[in-house]
Amino acid sequence: MGQTALYALAALSALFWGANFNLAGPVLADMAPMSAAAGRFVLAALIMAALVAWRGEFSAMLGTARRYGGRLALVGVVGIAGFNLLFFDAMRTTSAVNGALIMATNPLLTALLAALFLGEQLPGRQIAAIPVALAGVSMVILGGGAAGGAMEFGFGDLEMLGANLAWAAYNVLARKLTPPGPQMANTTVMMTAGALVLAAAAMLEGSVFVIPGPKAGAALLTMAVTGSVLAYLFWSMAITRLGAGRTALFLNLVPVFAAIIATLGGTPPNPAQLGGGAVVIAAVIFSMLPSRRRTCPA
């Protein structure tokens, strides 16, 4: 597969994740957050298991589960169950654009956690970009959902910050704990663990699972197929061939796609979201620029 095709796959992943922020609204109109989160990943895990079986890798997946089930389950609980519980509850009260722009800081947050817990070097550009990106997020949160330019802080924005932290922790844990071998099998085990925890949490909360209407059902199925199965697979393929650094740049497209889709749906971003989003994206891009190497004079 050529480099252009890999770039296209990474961009498609960003498009699917950006769409998730807009698809959550119709789903939550019919379903409780816990049920929606569980439904999305139960569907995704079943689709992944079917794909693994179709590829003739089901026995290999079972072997992976026996050998590495504990560590993969931990990754799935944090990155799938933890993230989605916070994501769906946040999307009840925050906007699609706000949520996507808050998540745009994830590459920086991931780099910070990797430096703290994996001992990876944190370049000076990333250190300098972190407070700038946080300032941009503050602009988005304080002015993004307010009418008439007033400043307000929503609990959904706080939950999205927690979801952002859970996804960064997922990236770090996946890097540290995911074993070598077929990545589709690893992803299926992680998704299954996350789906089971989400389903258990929904039952413990007493959420009554209702069959969603046509609009909500189509949105939930789209989130499962494109925003979960295809996005995870395409992203994994891009990271494997292009490397994490170059692939991570495509995360900057997530809020762009979310804003475009929201605008097409009749909810364009307001000035605070545009200004804060520009600061966030500029800070993240700046942090990922290669450092200039000093050359000795001849």
- Please list the alpha-helical segments (H only) found in 77-151: 83-90, 96-103, 106-117, 124-143
Amino acid letter for position 249: L
pLDDT at residue number 94: 86
* 3-12, 98-107, 119-128, 146-155: the lowest-pLDDT one: 146-155
Q: Is the pLDDT of residue 278 over 80?
A: yes
Select the more confidently predicted residue: 259 or 40.
Answer: 40
- Direct distance between the N- and C-terminal alpha carbons of the chain, in angstroms, rounded to an integer: 41
pLDDT at residue number 107: 81
Output DSSP code: residue 82: I
- Six-digit token pair at 276? 């804060």
pLDDT at residue number 116: 86
Rounded mean pLDDT, 119-145: 76
- Six-digit token pair at 162? 């927690």
* 5-9, 26-30, 129-133: the lowest-pLDDT one: 129-133
Q: Is the pLDDT of residue 79 over 70?
A: yes
pLDDT at residue number 243: 64
Residue 297, judged by CB atoms within 10 A of its CB (0-12, 13-18, 19+), counts as exposed
- Six-digit token pair at 84? 């989605």
Amino acid letter for position 125: R
User: What digits encode the pLDDT tens for the residues 216-235?
Assistant: 999 999 999 999 999 988 88
Select the more confidently predicted residue: 165 or 107.
Answer: 165
User: What digits encode the pLDDT tens for the residues 234-254?
Assistant: 887 787 677 665 677 777 778
Its pTM stands at: 0.81
Residue in the block written with tokens 């933890």: 82
* 47-61, 109-123, 159-173: the lowest-pLDDT one: 109-123
Residue 74 pLDDT class (50, 70, 90 cuts):
very high
Distance separating alpha carbons of residues 171 and 106, to the nearest angstrom: 10
Select the more confidently predicted residue: 271 or 54.
Answer: 54
| Torsion angle in degrees (nearest 10) through CA of 106, 20, 140, 276 | 70
Residue 272 pLDDT class (50, 70, 90 cuts):
confident
pLDDT at residue number 257: 86
Distance separating alpha carbons of residues 223 and 91, to the nearest angstrom: 14
